[in-house]
A and B are shown apart, each in its own frame.
Chain A
Amino acid sequence: MSSRENILNVVKASQPDYAPLPHMDYPANKNTGEVNLQEKFAASLTAIGGKAEIVSTMQDARDYIQKLDKGKRSVTTVPMLNDLLEPISSGLTPAQSLQDVDYAVIEAGIAVAENGAVWVTEEGLGIRVLPFICQHLIAIIRVENIVPDMHQAYEMIGGRQYGFATFIAGPSKTADIEQSLVLGAHGPRSMTVLIIMA
């Protein structure tokens, strides 16, 4: 018998009587009814070493990016920024060639107020390694896509298909040496989220 059959047989014989799944009762806005979500998100992101900027329009976001000292190479997967930065799309750029990217600007689909995380899928990334290999990461989020917590985030994600997707919460970090926090472990040294209000 193969290991597969063997394992499945022993598991089946060993598992206890069926225990039902619990009822998931985590209603939206249960504890955040009073709080404005963009401020809560900004506070969560700041607490984990990231930075949030609240801007009124996409034009303000463009202005913010234009004014940045962006280093040698800055790329984007946001079509509206193609005239400002080097556009990146899947299939055309080998992953390794992104090793010298200073800034990457991407658009996130969901932001989570309770923990400062943003949700990005392969579609928005172009190349999977982009938000990890760049030195600095900027994500753009529209205010209506900020949800209170992870339950609402997964409600929005639903059964959507993707090859790869990730929650990113702040810059890459480590505290492996005597618990001293250092930002910029293997991924970005900084992360900024631009929240567009309109």
Chain B
Amino acid sequence: MMMKTEAEHAELAQDFNKDEERVNWHDETLWWLRQKRDRIAHQIPEWEQLRETASTIKGNVLSNLSAYLTQFEEKAIANGVTVHWAADGAEHNNIVLEILKSHGVTRMVKSKSMLTEECHLNEFLEQQGLEVIDSDLGERIVQLAKEAPSHIVLPCIHKKKEEIGELFHQYLGTPEGNADPQFLTETARQHLREVFLTRKAALTGVNFAIAETGEFVVCTNEGNADMGAHLADVHIASMGIEKIIPERKHLGVFLRLLTRSATGQPITTYSSHFMKPNPGKEMHIVIVDNGRSVQLGRADFRNSLKCIRCGACMNTCPVYRRSGGHSYHTAIAGPIGSILAPNLDMKEYADLPFASTLCGSCSNVCPVKIDIHTQLYKWRQMIVQNGYTTTTKKTGMKIMNTVLSSPGAYRLGGKAGRAVLKYAPFMVNNKLNPWYKQRDMPNPPKESFGEWYSKNKGEGKDKA
């Protein structure tokens, strides 16, 4: 379920910022996860070596991807799996529909797959009259709320438990006003168990696909991917072309990094290796491009394809933490989403690379060492060169350019600014100034550094 919207990140963030208490909670909770990540990473002396190894393995994957994809396909077919290829989201969705139709299936259970969010699979299947139930608790919650996930690892981190209690009361018949997480989780367990036991088809995502063996690995804490896949007759696994890793032993590196980076856990509860279909059952893999091969050709941005979807860059990002996932209006939010989305549609996502302070915290925590903030900066230049910036930004930049290139205008501007803050703060402390929203304006200094320096430049010498 995607939000089709013309609004930009700043506007959507403004919506999220209406509830200050919620924003503070969101901010602190994600920062707490970042701290958990730090604590567990620091327990591993070879952590930096692991990041380097993971990044180098992924670098090898990108440089040899066509061969690895062919090898993976060959092994998977030999294992008895049916392999499909999809150029884009529409082809992916049609392949899934055809598989379901051929089995007369009208109801499917699905575990977490950001790729299917990217392809808008649920909407497509529902339009075709099929039912899809998301089985990850967070995804089920946002599905009931008719919203998109706001975080790739924590889909409903933007929701308060009272809102979830209300949704469960409305859709699952829980008593009104009950917002106890334990009780609500137990309700979802009972509700979804019935779904797992009765659905003939299950779709899962893929965390890693191993070229050497043709197997794929799916990681969950809840066990929902396994419950769906093992109880169904047909298991469909959707993966982007970049999910390939060369050898099984490389999983040792990635599984050590993934969950420590994501939530500060040593490993997910389940790291399931699917190699062959159960006797009498079917397993399908859909390999999806949807713009990834184009990104692979962009030298400045191809490293974004190393991403293993841990979400660490979101948890640490000062902008994400205070603007919420929905403000990014794309399936994958946060810093990584902001370098992936412009590749899909530079015009529609022109705002995202600007939704950053370029502080570099994202690059520092990335387990596969993607230079996220450098890519954000490079996208800004691409977007401006291609003429996709907004008028306000263009006008602002033009004024900035004039002021910064003329010393007279610069001095005058500084004086005026200080005077306004001192004598007429209401002129900037108002809604017309976008910087003032959610911020307090600083107390102005009495004079500029330039003024102070010309007054004091003689004194230093005398005292020396």
Residues of A with Cβ closer than 8 Å to B?
Answer: 2-4, 6-8, 10-22, 24-26, 30-31, 44, 47-48, 91, 95-96, 99, 112, 114-117, 127-129, 132-133, 149-151, 153-155, 157, 159, 161-180, 182, 184-188
Contact flags (1/0) for B50-66 with A, using CB distance below 8 Å?
00110011011011111
**How far in angstroms is the closest Cβ of chain B from A48?**
7
Say if the beta carbon of B182 comes within 8 Å of chain A.
yes
Q: At the interface, yes or no: B444 with Cβ under 8 Å from chain A?
A: no
Give every chain A residue within 8 A of B231 (Cβ-Cβ): 95-96, 129, 133
List chain A residues, Cβ under 8 A from B327: none
Q: What residues of chain A lie closer than 8 Å to B249, measured between beta carbons?
A: 24, 151, 154-155
Residues A162 and B60 in contact, CB atoms below 8 Å apart: no
- The answer to whether the Cβ of B93 comes within 8 Å of any Cβ in the partner chain is no
Q: A15-B64, A154-B252 are in contact. Are A186 and B269 (CB under 8 A)?
A: no
Decide yes or no whether B268 CB sits under 8 A from chain A. Answer: yes
Q: What sequence of 0s and 1s flags, for each residue 143-162 of chain B, a beta carbon within 8 Å of any chain A beta carbon?
A: 00000000000111100110
Known: A19-B59, A176-B138. A187 touches B181 (CB 8 A): no
A171 to B64, CA, bound (A): 38
CB distance from A28 to the nearest CB of B (A): 12
Set of chain A residues within 8 Å of B297, measured between Cβ atoms? 10, 13-14
Whether a CB of chain A sits under 8 angstroms from the CB of B14 is: no
User: Do B274 and A164 have beta carbons less than 8 Å apart?
Assistant: yes
Q: Is the CB of A166 within 8 A of B226?
A: yes
Confirm or deny: B248 has a beta carbon within 8 angstroms of a beta carbon on chain A: yes
Q: For this complex, into which size category does the number of interface residues on chain B fall?
A: 35 or more
B85 near A7 with CB under 8 A, answer: yes
Q: How far is the CB of B270 from chain A (nearest CB, A)?
A: 6
Which residues from chain A contact B118 at a C-beta distance below 8 Å?
none
How many angstroms from the CA of A44 to the CA of B85 in the assembled complex?
41
Give the distance in Å from the alpha carbon of A18 to the alpha carbon of B249 in the complex.
21
Task: Check A14 against B271 for contact (C-beta < 8 Å).
Answer: no
Q: Which of A8, A171, A182 contacts B181 (CB 8 A)?
A: A182
Contact A8–B69 (Cβ < 8 Å): yes
CA distance A192 to B69 in the complex (A): 39
- Is the pair B248, A117 in contact by a Cβ cutoff of 8 Å? no
Nearest B residue to A6 via CB reads B87
Residue B448 is within 8 A (CB to CB) of chain A in the complex = no
Chain B residues, Cβ within 8 Å of A188? 223
Contact flag A186-B253 (CB < 8 Å), given A14-B296, A166-B270: no
Q: Which of A13, A21, A161, A168 contacts B60 (CB 8 A)?
A: A21
Residues from chain B with Cβ under 8 Å of A163 in the complex: 275-278
Q: Is A176 in contact with B267, judged by CB distance below 8 angstroms?
A: no
Task: Quote the shortest CB–CB distance from A71 to chain B (angstroms).
Answer: 16
Find the B residue at minimum CB distance from A151.
B252
Closest beta carbon of chain B to A70's beta carbon, Å: 20
Given contacts A91-B279, A164-B276, could you give 20 more A-B pairs where the C-beta distance is less than 8 Å?
A3-B87, A11-B289, A11-B293, A14-B297, A17-B63, A21-B60, A31-B46, A96-B231, A128-B230, A128-B278, A132-B227, A149-B252, A150-B252, A154-B248, A163-B275, A167-B267, A167-B271, A169-B269, A172-B269, A180-B182
